[in-house]
Structure 1
Amino acid sequence: MKKQKIRVMLVDDHTIVRKGLRLILELHDRIEVCGEAASLKETIEMITVGRPDVILLDFKLPDGDGIEGCKKIRKQFPEIKILILTAYSQDHIVMEAIRAGANGYLLKNIKSDELIKSVFNVFENESVLDPSVTEVIFKQLHTRNHPTEQQLSPRETDILNMISKGSTNKEIAESLYISEKTVRNYISNLFKKINVHNRTKAARYWLMKNS
């Protein structure tokens, strides 16, 4: 009996990267690349046509980041497996992508055979993490089990620190490799946690706490 082919969609705004991934994946007779997209908007539009089992999703796209991408795909197509493939290995990005629903997180320097193996693993409902980011997960779990006084996450602490230095939402977004919309959401939650209503009071709170 012939085994089911795994339908994979490639999402990356660089054409040469998508073509290279297609060549690698289609070397395996059980993988079929069913579509390519260069943005989140294109991805959502093409999913109903390509009907992928697995999406290889770049983190940084012209109209959003991998966190937004995972949330949008999860909301509309919860059965699809999402494998982040990116050059970014920062702690906060890895954790937020997993929280947003990614089934795996890989760096772009991965070897071809490991990439193919990872596609099969997430298709079989396994979680996949690049070895270089595995330590991040344990560190974040330790932080979660030993919360700070205000229970601020490392990301919230970074944002609060930048607010105290006068950084704009755009500057924060660029520094943390996330969208301005994601920054606004974090700031809204952050204000609730420290019980302030504007950036000036948030900055004052942080400066006093660290004085």
Structure 2
Amino acid sequence: MVRILVADDHDVVRSGVRGILEARAGWEVVAEASDGMAAIQKAVETQPDIAVLDYSLPLANGVEVTRIVRAKLPKLEILIFTMHENEEIIGDLLAAGAKGYLLKSDARELLITAVESLAEHRPFFTGKVSEALLETYVSKYREGRHVLTARERRVVQLIAEGHSNKSIADLLSLSAKTVETHRSSAMRKLNLRSTAALVRYAVRNKLVEA
């Protein structure tokens, strides 16, 4: 049995979602809510497996509801059900703990598939949302790669490998002062305050092997 909470401030939407979900054998809508505070209360009371939440809920929006109920019920999977296709909203919801994002325009076709994915603790995003997330990821990755110059990345790599400034200067045919300038510049750009943090950055970003 998959137990589901549906929260939307429009009666007709809740009724439609309930009808689609309960047509599936073994699925039951155990609670409905018309605002964010009621959604939190109903979630705690009924402890469903999945919550289908409208992003634009009154009193507490989808991000706030997600953050609160995930803290109280960490096993609860959350599917955001919305008209909004916005990268910032998607990012906020993912950070809050939502694992699914479905546009209302895709509900008739994809709601069952989305809930099936979350019931198996797998994420679900429609094609358009997946494309937006991919574009954002690639953009941030590229920005991150170019925070440091090629020479700064090389200096960071050698520091992480345990070389001293003098050793790095010899390897790169630079003065020790220039090496220190590159090191200081890299740490400033990355907002790091210690060699240990610089080493962790190098490992995390595959500049050296862990």
Mark yes or no: TM-score above 0.5.
yes
Instruction: Say whether 1:125 aligns with 2:109.
Output: no
1:67 pairs with one of 59, 63, 69: 63
Q: Does 1:138 align with 2:118?
A: no
**1:111 positional shift:** 4.4
Secondary structure at 1:33's aligned position in 2?
A: strand
Q: Does 1:103 find its partner at 2:99?
A: yes
Alignment TM-score, normalising by the size of structure 1: 0.65
Point out where structure 2 has 5 or more consecutive residues left out of the alignment: 148-210
The residue identity in structure 2 corresponding to 1:103 is K
Deviation at 1:73, TM superposition (A): 1.2
Mapping 1:164-203, distance limit 5 Å: none
Percent pairwise identity: 31
> 1:162-181 deviations in whole A, cap 9, x for unaligned?
xxxxxxxxxxxxxxxxxxxx
Quick check: which one's helix share is greater? Answer: 2
Give the match's secondary structure for 1:61. coil
Structure 2 CA distance for aligned equivalents of residues 8 and 51 of structure 1: 9
RMSD (CA atoms):
1.8
Match of 2:17 among 21, 30, 34: 21
> How far apart in 2 are the matches of 1:67 and 1:30?
28
Alignment-mate amino acid for residue 30 of structure 2: C
Structure 1 gaps, min length 5: 152-211
Deviation at 1:64, TM superposition (A): 2.5
Aligned partners of 1:34 and 1:51 also within 8 Å: no
Give TM-score, length-normalised by structure 2: 0.65
- Return the index of the structure with the highest Cα Rg: 2
Partner of 1:89: 85
Counterpart of 2:168 in structure 1 is none
Compared CA separation, residues 123 and 62, structure 1 to 2 (3 A): same
Change (3 A) 1:146 1:113: closer
What code does the residue aligned with 1:44 have? I
From the superposition, tell whether residues 58 and 19 of structure 1 become closer, same or farther in structure 2 (CA, over 3 Å): same
Alignment deviations for residues 4-45 of structure 1 (CA, whole Å, 9 cap, x no partner): x10010010111110111111111112100000011211121
Aligned length: 146
User: Structure 2 counterpart of 1:33, which letter?
Assistant: V
| Cα deviations by residue, 1:100-142 (Å, 9 ceiling, x for unpaired) | 1111000001143521121111110100001111111111112
Aligned position for 1:6: 2
Instruction: Find runs of 4+ consecutive structure 1 residues off by over 4 angstroms.
Output: none
